Amino acid sequence: MRQQGLFGHPVVEENEVECIPYMGSKRKIANSLLNAIYRTVGDFDKIYDLFGGGGAFSVAALKAGHNVVYNEYNPAIADLMRHVMTGGEIPKTWISRERFFELIKGSDWRAGLALCCWSFGNNQKSYLFGCEVEPLKKLGHEIVVDSSDTAKKELETLLNMPLPDFKSREQFSSFFRKMNNRLDLQQLERLQQLERLQQLEQLEQLERLEQLEQLQQLEQLEQLEIKNASYSEVSIAPGAVIYCDPPYQGTVKYKAEIDHAAFWQWCRNQSAPVFISEYDAPADFKVVAEIQHRSTLSSANNAKTTTERLFWNGKYQNM
């Protein structure tokens, strides 16, 4: 919940928020963005998150006590958010490469689940694992999720070592990280085994599914209003604030692209304050915040430090 700051505007604690796993997620900086909006236009009731994606900004606004409209153009992602919000089951069944490409042809929450939890770098296009590593990851999944003794014995045979019982993804990952650090595994004749252990260090799909479960446990989520439309088709209520996190121009492309020139003109035409996350903007948009952070959920470089900018169209709430 937002508090009153020293300078009269609201303020929220700048911590990480729950969200759907998503490329370009704002989960680490959503509250920083919200504070920048407070510093610019003060307090408000309703906010529209028009490029909702993983919902990080919507969750931050919900936790701050706002009336939030989450809009996502991709129907599969919007339906996944609706499924999570209503307490739907989050299946942890293994999804193979073939099944992945079948699922993402759809537009329901199952397609959204595959896109967000089983795609490489959350790019919503390619399968999470390469052909060579997929069998190993499947074994790890069957051991942790299905508690399969057959899969465990197969992995023990493959690695030529006994394995403990794993009760969680964390225990599984911790064990293989420790094995990676054993000096005897650095010997040349055991290099292939070391590479296999490195491939098993993380079970990315389970980590993402656990993120969905954490989001589902958020009590405020049931208050979220969900829409599935183009940003320009959403009707904006008087006195509201608009936040946009569109696909960044010149970066990794999403499933749906936008006309950037038309988008900026739409922002100019709004009577409500519009805040836009981007790297660059036309000269008539003011920078109200610059936030450095490490890239997350990127298919290119997870260690890259980037500077996010929050731009503003110069408008205040029209009551």
Q: What integer pLDDT is reported at residue 305 of this predicted model?
A: 78
Q: Decide: 49 and 55 in contact? Cβ < 8 Å.
A: yes
Which residues make up the CATH 3.40.50 domain(s) of the chain?
A: 3-73+229-312
Segment 276-308, tens digit of pLDDT: 999 999 999 999 999 987 755 444 445 567 889
182 contacts: CB under 8 Å, gap ≥ 6: none
The CATH fold assigned to 3-73+229-312 is: Rossmann fold (3.40.50)
Which tops the pLDDT comparison, 3 or 88? 88
Stretch among 7-11, 21-25, 101-105 having the lowest mean pLDDT: 7-11
Stretch among 98-107, 177-186, 304-313 having the lowest mean pLDDT: 177-186
Q: pTM, whole model, 2 decimals?
A: 0.90
Q: What integer pLDDT is reported at residue 201 of this predicted model?
A: 81
Q: What integer pLDDT is reported at residue 138 of this predicted model?
A: 94
What average pLDDT does the segment 188-203 reach? 71
Q: Per residue in 207-245, is it b (16+ CB within 10 Å) or e — as a string?
A: ebbbbbeebbebebbeebebbbeebeeeebeeebbbbbb
| CA atoms of 108 and 230, how far apart (whole Å) | 17
| CA atoms of 162 and 132, how far apart (whole Å) | 23
Q: What integer pLDDT is reported at residue 111 of this predicted model?
A: 98
Mean pLDDT for the chain overall: 90
* Three-state DSSP state, 254: coil
What average pLDDT does the segment 49-63 reach? 98
Is the pLDDT assigned to residue 202 strictly greater than 60? yes
Q: What integer pLDDT is reported at residue 125 of this predicted model?
A: 94
Q: What integer pLDDT is reported at residue 298 of this predicted model?
A: 45
Q: Decide: 299 and 123 in contact? Cβ < 8 Å.
A: yes
